[in-house]
Structure 1
Amino acid sequence: MHRRTLLSAALPAALAAPALLSAPARGQSASQGVTRAQTLRVVPETLTTILDPHFTTSFTARDFSYLVFDTLFAMDDQWRPQPQMVDSFERSADGLSWRFTLRDGLAFHDGAAVTSEDVVASLRRWAARDALGGLLLRATTTLEPVDARSFRLVLARPFGLVLEALAKPGAMVPMIMPKRLAETPASQPITTPVGSGPYRFVAEEYRPGDRIVLARNTAYRPREGAPVWASGGKVARFERVELIAMPDVSTQVSALTTGEVDYLERVPADVLPVLERNRQIRVQVVSPFGYQGILRFNHRLPPFDNPKVRRAVMLAVNQADYLPGVAGRPEFGRECRSFYGCGTPYETTAGMPAAADLEAAKKLLAESGADLSRPVVILHPADAPGIAALGLVTQDLLTKLGFKVDLQSMDLNTFFGRRARPEGWNVFHTTNTVPDMQTPLQNVYLNGAGPGPSGFAGWPEEAEVEKLRGAFAAAATEDERKKLAEAIHARAAEAGFYMPLGQFVTPSAWRADLTGVLTGPAMFLWNIGR
């Protein structure tokens, strides 16, 4: 790795670059009467070009969507669902019938009132794409409006995670949009987002791949109470938020140092000393639960349609080889072989290889009869450092196992499109927030429904896992859920659903004059002031 050397050489030359990059935005702010002090400039890890909260598991799309859209419920820091757009709700004694009433005065950015018809259409669209949402909808017989502000959900069978599903903080989040947008086919992303959240999307200033501009929604009515994670009062203290694409790390550091930008979402460990010495900058881990690295196989194409081949690769994985590239510092990473993440209520390693064993992996691979002459295609998003580092390690690992490897580099948004197709790839890598993986229903990568409306391209079709996940959803006690969670984990691991690559946290950095920066499993940009 030569990143630190390159950074030190590039920093002086880069100092002038941010001013050039941000000059157009400064002119736009002035023309709208919004000053620099009233503008929050944020550099996300990558800038999403998908503006649809129901279309992708990308957390960059999720974080953008949290600004524009709102949710019926939201999680607090004790993992308790709290009402957000919902004012009140009633549940029958048997837990099968639910009635929800919306807060009065909710309105979309186009001025239209939020109605129960919008909510029902949004939930149906979300459930067509989301694993947990799909399980909830399949357990539902009735989801319909009662009147303009109320809707009813009636279950055909017990489902113990109704509120948890509606409050889930990870992609895909059940965010509410107008019915006219929610009726867009789930296979087609919406391109002009209209929500009811604290900020509105400024379409005329959108520059795909370069900049997303949001303006404060003056009609937004925050809930009472302090903001805790995605729950509570979402107060928009800035008139304008700019999400800016800035893939070069040295440019990011320089822009934050000079005040051209205010917030960097993810800071590589090798540049931390530069920022930690600067009293005008604060560095902090805002998501203490962190992320899990993931190596995902295409189960529909050779060679990984063979479970022995998948298990051979899993057996060869040494997480210690992956963690330095994503964690940077030893204190930011830990080995973890649990699909649910480590430190979570259902943590287990049932069915997983106990440790890396390259020679045993080679032996198992030979027994599989796999054709090693066919190139294995790895989708490689080169502009997403946190994912790209994983791919380089796997390239080396597969080569050691005897595979021919075709590492295909692309930008992140092309990557999202490619991985959604059933053909043209064998392996990809990603990261997911650990809180989004802590149960068999929340972990989207434990979906055993196969390809199609309820699953993902290249994903396994495992009826036993789906049966067990359904039982987990219906379980009445925590002891029962823990037993089922372990059984699901063992079966999915034995089938080689995917391989965890370790658990890690990454720090964020922001200008010290910012106040009210929230912690949590996503980048929450409300409540921040200057």
Structure 2
Amino acid sequence: MNLMKKSLFVLFLALLLALVACSKDDEGASTSNDESTDTEEQTDDQEDDGDTSTGQGGDLQYVLNVQPPTMDPVMSTATATRDVARPVFETLVTIDSAYEPQPMLAESWEISDDGLTYTFNLREGIKFHNGEEMTAEDVVASMNRWLEKSATAQSLIGEGSFEEVDEYTVNLLITEPSIFVLSALGGTLQFPGIMPKEVVEAATETGVEDYIGTGPFKFVEWKQDQYIHMEKFADYTPREEEPDGLSGKREALFDNIYINFVPDPNTQLGGIQTGQYDVGYGLSYDMYDQLENTEGVEAMAPIVGQYAMVYNKNLGIFTDVKMRQAVNAALNLEDIASTALNGKYRMASSYMQLEQEAWASNEGEEFYNNPDLEKAEQLLEEAGYDGEPIRFITTREYSYMYDSAVIIKEQLEKVGVNIDLEVYDWPTVVNMRANPEEWDIFITGFPMTMTPVEQLFFNSTWVDGPEDEKTEELLKQISVAETIEEAKEHWDELQGHSWEIVPITKISDYTMIMGVSERVEGFQFLDGPILWNIGFKE
């Protein structure tokens, strides 16, 4: 290098260091005039522990529109819980990109000839974040707790228990064979994260008090209403297989992940556009075009499942099937979806995604998106509805829920239904819906499931209430079917029956709006963002 080039290089390096220093001095500054004080404080509290210009290391700043009710994956069906718990907790079985079960903390498994005993051989040398090795006693404690708490486990497995065989082997004993056991174990919602036995035994009715798993990132801090901080787990032992969906090798390529909670959509958008946040999830649907037109940001709108209006079948006005039928008949579902989702939706009567060819069904489609106001008024009269107020709870933190609720209120008022719309933050909605005395209807999204019987609204222990006798019988026939083809016949019958009795009113398949910085490399999505095996571009 000659003298002139060397001098220019030194000058460039000095300027670069000065710019980096200035950027760190400005860290935490508001990106817009209406950015919240909480957001400013959360950024000031976070330390920059790595060089974010390199392929590995640095801090990922992720922004989420809601705060989860808990990080304990067994205790909540909220997708926010799933997303923040996923980097910390791992499962015996997971799924690949085709939704097929694959081993994770299990090395392998065998199934007895009668289908009643599943033997799992555990990986050895796996460390928890507290430094202790994972053994069979931890797996047994974690999995039996999941069998007790999980709606999916109760739907697909029924009565069962895990027992220790030796230090690295456990058995799952069930009373009836099912082709869906491994699917249940690999499910992504309310998933069975493996935790230390002592953590499980210390759990209260609200969940575990220590978030200790085996994942590539370990929990550090939860600053309420601001962020969750997790850091790279140095003693993580990845699998050797190539990554595929949630299966295979997992690597923590960031030093730290900060999951920031920012309910205000304008603040979310501003933070992504200015580079304050690297990944944003759950933005308003009307912001997609702005993201798409922002240099250095990729706009994404993956289909994440279906969204629906849920009825309280535990007590109150919607225990009457005619009331549910009346509401369903009154609604123009495409008007709701097109407005609330700003064009990012798909109309489909199937409760399972169309891409799931083994399960997609058209049964009952004559009851889907077929508004008939005269029929609705007649059903209301038959139900004896006298104008009493219906409590509709919702949240602004998921814009599609609130916007849908407003449109539904307007449509139902046209047939004389009196809607009392109550707006809360998302954790409050989650807590309220657990008490049947506090609501009549709400809007929520249902993520994709591997089998139809995993749908939450088919589980009698979920918040919507009990199922009718025919539904219970068909669910049982699906679960004990010996082949997928046999199960599909029962499923077609169940979907047709469901559209007749309306346990929910499905509105459409829906997307979530995301913004991902182009400096993030390897980002993937499968039932939620995958925060391992991604890093910053060099």
- Provide the residue aligned with 2:487 in structure 1: 481
Residue 215 in structure 1 maps to residue 221 in structure 2: no
The range that moved more, 58-67 or 459-468, is 459-468
Please list, as runs of the form range in 1=range in 2, the aligned pairs for 1:226-375 lying within 5 A after superposition: 226-285=242-301, 287=302, 289-329=303-343, 332-344=344-356, 345-351=358-364, 353-354=367-368, 355-372=370-387, 374-375=388-389
Structure-2 change in CA distance of 1:309 and 1:49 (3 Å): closer
SS in 1 for 2:381: helix
Distance 1:23 1:202 in 2: 17
For residues 214-251 of structure 1, the C-alpha deviation after alignment (integer angstroms, 9 at most, x for no partner) is 11111111111332221111111001000111122222
Maintained 8 Å contact 1:445/1:497? yes
1:278: how far off? Answer: 2.8
1:157 correspondence with 2:171: no
Contact conserved, 1:125 with 1:183, CA < 8 A, in 2?
no
Q: Distance in 2 between matches of 1:325 and 1:120?
A: 47
Q: How does 1:30-179 map to 2 (within 5 A)?
A: 30=48, 33-35=49-51, 38-140=58-160, 142-169=161-188, 171-179=189-197
Deviation larger for 124-133 or 56-65? 124-133
Partner of 1:9: none
- The answer to whether the Cα contact below 8 Å between 1:15 and 1:255 also exists between their aligned partners in 2 is no
Asked whether 1:190 is paired with 2:208, we answer: yes
> Please, what TM-score do these two structures have when normalized by structure 2?
0.88
Structure 2: which amino acid aligns with 1:152?
A: N
Match of 1:506 among 497, 512, 520: 512
1:388/1:181 Cα in 2 relative to 1: closer, same or farther (>3 Å)? Answer: farther
Question: What code does the residue aligned with 1:275 have?
Answer: L
Q: Give 1:339's aligned amino acid.
A: Y
Q: How does 1:461-476 map to 2 (within 5 A)?
A: 461-476=467-482
What secondary structure does 1:50 align onto? coil
Aligned partner of residue 14 in structure 1, secondary structure: coil
- State whether residues 34 and 267 of structure 2, in contact with CA within 8 Å, keep that contact through their aligned partners in structure 1: no
- The aligned counterpart of 2:456 is 444
Question: Counterpart of 2:60 in structure 1: which amino acid?
Answer: L
User: Do the aligned partners of residues 366 and 27 (structure 1) sit closer, same or farther apart at CA in structure 2, a change above 3 Å counting?
Assistant: closer
Aligned equivalent of 2:21: none
Compute the displacement of 1:105 (Å).
1.1
Aligned partner of 2:407 among 379, 382, 393 = 393
Q: Is the 8 A contact 1:380 1:428 kept in 2?
A: yes
Query: After alignment, is 95-104 or 271-280 more displaced?
Result: 271-280
Partner AA of 2:394 in structure 1? H
Q: Name the larger-Rg structure.
A: 2
C-alpha distance after superposition, 1:92-116 (max 9, x if no partner): 2332222101111112111122122
Cα distance in structure 1, aligned partners of 2:341 and 2:46: 37
- 2:65·2:397 contact (CA, 8 Å) conserved in 1? no
Q: What's 2:437 paired with?
A: 423
CA shift for structure 1 position 136: 4.2
Cα separation, 2, equivalents of 1:213 and 1:241: 6
Structure 1 residue 79, shift from structure 2 partner: 1.7
Q: CA deviation at 1:186?
A: 7.5
Looking at structure 2, the residues matched to 390 and 60 of structure 1 have their Cα atoms a distance apart, in angstroms, of 20
Question: 2: CA distance between counterparts of 1:348 and 1:101?
Answer: 37
Output the CA distance in 1 between the equivalents of 2:413 and 2:135.
Answer: 56
Deviations along 1:452-492, one digit per CA (max 9) or x if unpaired, are: xxx02341332332222122111112221111111222333
> Mean alpha-carbon deviation: is it higher for 81-90 or for 150-159?
150-159
Kept in 1, the 8 Å contact 2:282–2:514? The answer is yes
Q: Distance in 2 between matches of 1:79 and 1:296?
A: 26
Query: How many equivalent pairs are there?
Result: 500
Distance 1:185 1:304 in 2: 35
Equivalent residues of 1:45, 1:60 under 8 A apart: no
Q: Judging changes above 3 Å, is the alpha-carbon distance between structure 1 residues 24 and 168 closer, same or farther for their aligned structure 2 residues?
A: closer
Contact 1:303 1:371 in 2 (8 A): no
For residue 5 of structure 1, what is the aligned residue in structure 2? none
SS at match of 1:470: helix
Show the counterpart of 1:459.
465
Tell me what 1:3 maps to. Answer: none
- The answer as to whether partners of 1:280 and 1:511 remain within 8 angstroms in 2 is yes
Task: Map Cα deviations across residues 298-330 of structure 1 (whole Å, 9 max, x no partner).
Answer: 11222111111111111222211221244212x
Q: Cα distance 1:325–1:104, how it changes in 2: closer, same or farther (>3 A)?
A: farther
Q: 1:478 to 1:323 in 2, by over 3 A?
A: same
Alpha-carbon separation, structure 2, partners of 1:187 and 1:319? 38
Contact (CA 8 Å) 2:228, 2:258: kept in 1 or not?
yes
Distance apart, 1:440 and its partner CA: 2.5
- Which deviations, in whole Å up to 9, do the C-alpha atoms of 1:138-196 show, x marking residues without a partner? 243x5201112110122322111111111112x11121122233235674222431111
CA 1:370 to 1:300, structure 2 compared with 1: closer, same or farther past 3 Å? Answer: farther
Deviation at 1:71, TM superposition (A): 0.9
Provide the residue aligned with 2:198 in structure 1: 180
Q: Distance in 2 between matches of 1:18 and 1:370?
A: 44
Separation in structure 2 between the aligned mates of residue 145 and residue 137 of structure 1, nearest angstrom: 19
User: Residue 3 of structure 2 corresponds to which residue in structure 1?
Assistant: none
Identical pairs, percent: 27
Contact 2:95 2:245 in 1 (8 A): yes
Q: Distance in 1 between matches of 2:91 and 2:443?
A: 29
Q: Check whether the contact 2:391–2:421 (CA below 8 A) recurs between aligned residues.
A: yes
Once residues 524 and 31 of structure 2 are traced to their aligned partners in structure 1, the CA distance between those partners, rounded to angstroms, is 33
Shift of 1:340: 2.2
When structure 1 is superposed on structure 2, of 512-521 and 223-232 the one drifting more is: 223-232
Distance 1:387 1:489 in 2: 24
Amino acid at match of 1:130: S
TM-score by length of structure 1 reads 0.89
Structure 1 residues 388 and 218: CA distance shift in structure 2, 3 A: same
| Structure 2 gap segments, 5+ residues each | 1-29
